[in-house]
């Protein structure tokens, strides 16, 4: 078993921070369902503004609310408006990640989805591993290497 990226919410903005809460991160349930984040699943959170890195578990927020709320001790690591990356991980065999095709949502200023990305790992004819990254955008402004941009 190895650890792989299972899903990712990239550049989502923190909408609130509630220190006097039991902990966790509350995320719009629609966002979670689209990429496959499950209730109470542990995730890594990386703050693009401060560099802070924490882990906590997911609570589903109101669908359609576009919320991203840090709760409890996690509230000390992010300010309202900070851009963060939320990533889940899975422990599995390579053939499982080939089937999974992890999904990524990319967010704009008001937590609107501006892109959907899929990571695809596959076997080449010689059985060596390779990957492709597909995006709904056509310009590859992310800087993915040309060899993996689909």
> Does 75 belong to an annotated binding site?
no
What does DSSP assign to residue 72?
Answer: G
Catalytic residue among 4, 21, 24, 88: 24
- Spell out the domains of the chain, with CATH numbers in brackets: 8-90 (2.40.40.20)
pLDDT at 24: 94
- Average pLDDT of the chain? 94
**Among this protein's residues, is 119 annotated catalytic?**
no
pLDDT tens across 106-127, in order? Answer: 999 999 999 999 999 999 999 9
Q: In what order do the strands lie in the sheet with 83-92?
A: 16-18, 68-71, 24-28, 53-61, 42-47, 83-92, 2-13, 103-107, 113-123, 129-135
**Among this protein's residues, is 57 annotated catalytic?**
yes
66 φ, ψ to 5°? Answer: 60, 25
Q: Is the pLDDT of residue 83 over 70?
A: yes
> Does 150 belong to an annotated binding site?
no
Q: Average pLDDT in the 19-27 region? A: 91
> Does 74 belong to an annotated binding site?
yes
Catalytic residue among 42, 50, 55, 57: 57
pLDDT tens across 47-73, in order? Answer: 999 999 999 999 999 999 999 999 999
Q: To the nearest whole percent, how much of the chain has pLDDT over 70?
A: 98
> Does 87 belong to an annotated binding site?
no
């Amino acid at each position: 078993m190895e650890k792989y990226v299972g899903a990712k919410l990239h550049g989502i903005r923190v909408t609130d921070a509630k220190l006097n809460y039991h902990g966790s991160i509350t995320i719009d349930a629609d966002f979670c369902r689209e990429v496959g984040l499950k209730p109470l699943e542990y995730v890594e959170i990386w703050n693009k503004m401060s560099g802070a890195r924490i882990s906590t578990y997911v609570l589903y927020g109101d669908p359609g609310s576009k919320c991203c709320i840090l709760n409890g001790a996690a509230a000390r690591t992010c300010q309202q408006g900070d851009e963060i990356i939320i990533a889940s991980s899975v422990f599995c065999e390579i053939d499982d990640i080939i089937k999974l095709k992890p999904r990524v949502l990319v967010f704009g200023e008001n937590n609107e989805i501006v892109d959907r990305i899929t990571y695809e790992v596959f076997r080449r004819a010689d059985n060596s591993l390779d990957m492709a990254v597909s995006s709904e955008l056509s310009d590859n402004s992310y800087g993915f290497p040309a060899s993996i941009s689909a």
